[in-house]
Chains A and B, each alone.
Chain A
């Protein structure tokens, strides 16, 4: 008997299921499965302004750089962060305007036309967007076209990630929901919270082992976006937690 059949039969037996094996090779469940309570939080009532604040605070805690800019200021800020780089790589689907003021060479990368890994290893930095970001944990979720192939945010030593304020959520379950809504459940995903780190030597935290050793997050607050604007005002008036 093959391993699959044996294991499925063992499980059926261990679970005390009796009856006939189905076509898949196990005895189907008859008792109802345990109920899973979902009392934990899945929504947030924090304003965009407050979310930005928490997110920036967490990133700073991880020793990541944080900048907060308007859409108009973005290209200049990105260029400034890249001033040590001679060349950069971006996903082919990234908005070129974001790196419009960068003076060096811009390489594009896509699944169809990937950059060789040696090139990525030598390039000065990578610039990407993010799908969603989690304020509470200081996490950027990278998946989808404007985040590019996984390798481009891994091999270069410096990552500049642009996060739209509207894409910031408060807690992890909201981010999981956003990724599903974006149709990315089965797409490759990388969640990054600060630059790479280790505590393996005498439990001392050392930044930068194998991933990018420098992470800069640029939060773009679009002043024209009524939602973000309203949120800002609402925050000032209505959220007592802000003062905490």
Chain B
């Protein structure tokens, strides 16, 4: 084929990339979710401290970052060359390569492969096991498969908690961080038919329950689905980097393995692993190395799956690639370091970002994949204080703060007729103010007590008094109006009334189920956290 190339329009991604409600609204009620905030603070503080220590150990950390960033830029600059090189190598090793333009196409390919290889069970359904994957979450694969009589079982402990709790992940790395051990025990007892009714609340016991629950599935299920942390163009090698061993189970035991990988996940050469296998573990969990990493190249007869597939996913990535400045967001290796250092993320949690990509990177990647003119995502670039911590933490040196400013400007151009153009200096003043307000626990506490500072900042609708305009921004940082009762007294009252809490939860779940039933195929966009939040506000006000 040698037709003349006239260029293509960019095509936005689809799937779970859209906010369920604008960031301000969701952030507002997520701010009221105490468990989420406590756990997120604990987790992010712990990871942050560990990460800093592990990074400081390496005298050549900056050299590794430089090399990692450049290697990813090579991937983007030579994407067609490297993708076809990967394809040739993977195919030569006995694997099959599929290409998917968008979420719908990727889902359909996976469904076809599952129907070809997984047997029907007595209920007339098929089963697959899954290892945590942002790409499959982005395309809404589980929900799609469920509608087509295929049950996808998540095997990461956290994903299992999220799935059994009919929930959405709140953190890339610790997706169930918004649940405490008591909630997890309840979720297991409700969701696992083989759970021991005497199950305790110790993390060790809960992990053991998940091991038992999944072992049989691992040993008998014929098809597994994974994502990939890296694909090596030079050799056609795929990899999964993990902790628990469920990834190893999925890529080793079944007969058929289907990997869904974004086209930007490539690395040029095997040698690049020497860089990225240092950058990724230290940046993500703050460990010198994660417990397990698996690497496979097509099919190895007698060792692992016999049918090995990879689905190369576009879904808006070529759109992001077309943005010369935004392009560098595609370097992202999903380590989550940027969210662990982000003061906004720590306060609001991943749910507020709506899209499967939360935190600072989500705030740029999501609008890039979907277009800043996608109304639902237009508030995301404002979900940051521009403090710059994310850039310093990023192992592939993505200049997130600078890109946020650009995206805001793009968004403002789109919205010019609505709000008028924001003078940048004034916006910056407002941002700095909001950042100051949010970045210190003591100031937050002052507001909770309704002390003069908060009152000063608190007209009827909530705190939105930052000087000037910046409507979109200040509203995105709006904190619920200080309740008449202080937070701490509310918290203790709340604890005396566990029973009430339970009733409320039951009502939420019922609401959620009704919504699910009503909306049929749709995975409950608005209904998730919204009712819960209303209830919490009720409580606070009461």
Partners in one complex: yes
Interface residues, chain A, with chain B CB atoms under 8 Å away: 2-15, 17-29, 31, 33-42, 58, 62, 110-112, 114, 117-118, 121, 134, 136-139, 149-151, 154-155, 171-177, 180, 185-204, 206, 208-212
Residues in B whose Cβ lies below 8 Å from that of A23: 1-2
Task: Count B-side interface residues using an 8 Å CB cutoff.
Answer: 105
Q: How far is the CA of A185 from the CA of B239 in the complex (A)?
A: 12
Among the interface residues A15, A22, A191, A201, which one has the most CB atoms of the partner chain B within 10 A?
Answer: A201
Residue of B nearest to A201 (CB): B203
Find out whether the CB atom of B292 lies under 8 angstroms from the CB atom of A209.
no
Find out whether the CB atom of A13 lies under 8 angstroms from the CB atom of B303.
no
The listed residue (B70, B277, B281, B301) touching A34 by CB distance below 8 A is B70
Given A21-B5, A40-B67, A150-B294, also A209-B81 (CB < 8 A): no
Is B246 an interface residue when CB atoms closer than 8 A count as contact? yes
Is B295 an interface residue when CB atoms closer than 8 A count as contact? yes
Residues in B whose Cβ lies below 8 Å from that of A58: 288
Find out whether the CB atom of B67 lies under 8 angstroms from the CB atom of A150.
no
Is B119 an interface residue when CB atoms closer than 8 A count as contact? no
Given A20-B5, A202-B180, A206-B207, also A197-B81 (CB < 8 A): no
Residue of B nearest to A195 (CB): B291
Find out whether the CB atom of B63 lies under 8 angstroms from the CB atom of A37.
yes
Interface residues, chain B, with chain A CB atoms under 8 Å away: 1-5, 7-8, 10-11, 39, 42-43, 46-47, 59-60, 63-64, 66-67, 70-71, 73-74, 76-81, 83-84, 93, 98-101, 105, 155-158, 161, 174-177, 180-181, 184, 203-204, 206-207, 210-211, 214-215, 218-219, 235-237, 243-246, 248-249, 252-253, 263, 268, 270-271, 273-275, 277-278, 281, 285, 287-298, 300-304, 312, 314, 318-319, 321-322
Q: How far is the CA of A105 from the CA of B271 in the complex (A)?
A: 41
Find out whether the CB atom of B288 lies under 8 angstroms from the CB atom of A138.
yes
Residues in B whose Cβ lies below 8 Å from that of A176: 270-271, 273-274, 277
Residues in B whose Cβ lies below 8 Å from that of A41: 59-60, 63
Q: How far is the CA of A199 from the CA of B243 in the complex (A)?
A: 9
Find out whether the CB atom of A11 lies under 8 angstroms from the CB atom of B246.
no
Find out whether the CB atom of B1 lies under 8 angstroms from the CB atom of A150.
no
Residues in A whose Cβ lies below 8 Å from that of B184: 201
Q: How far is the CA of A175 from the CA of B80 in the complex (A)?
A: 30
Find out whether the CB atom of A39 lies under 8 angstroms from the CB atom of B244.
no
The listed residue (A6, A39, A209) touching B210 by CB distance below 8 A is A209
The listed residue (B11, B67, B98, B219) touching A117 by CB distance below 8 A is B219
Given A201-B157, A203-B174, also A29-B78 (CB < 8 A): yes
Q: How far is the CA of A223 from the CA of B179 in the complex (A)?
A: 53
Find out whether the CB atom of A203 lies under 8 angstroms from the CB atom of B177.
yes
What is the distance, in angstroms, from A175's C-beta to the closest C-beta of chain B? 8
Find out whether the CB atom of A36 lies under 8 angstroms from the CB atom of B74.
yes
Find out whether the CB atom of B77 lies under 8 angstroms from the CB atom of A29.
yes
Find out whether the CB atom of A151 lies under 8 angstroms from the CB atom of B3.
no
Find out whether the CB atom of B246 lies under 8 angstroms from the CB atom of A138.
no
Find out whether the CB atom of A199 lies under 8 angstroms from the CB atom of B300.
no
Q: How far is the CA of A188 from the CA of B253 in the complex (A)?
A: 13
Find out whether the CB atom of A188 lies under 8 angstroms from the CB atom of B289.
no
Find out whether the CB atom of B77 lies under 8 angstroms from the CB atom of A15.
yes
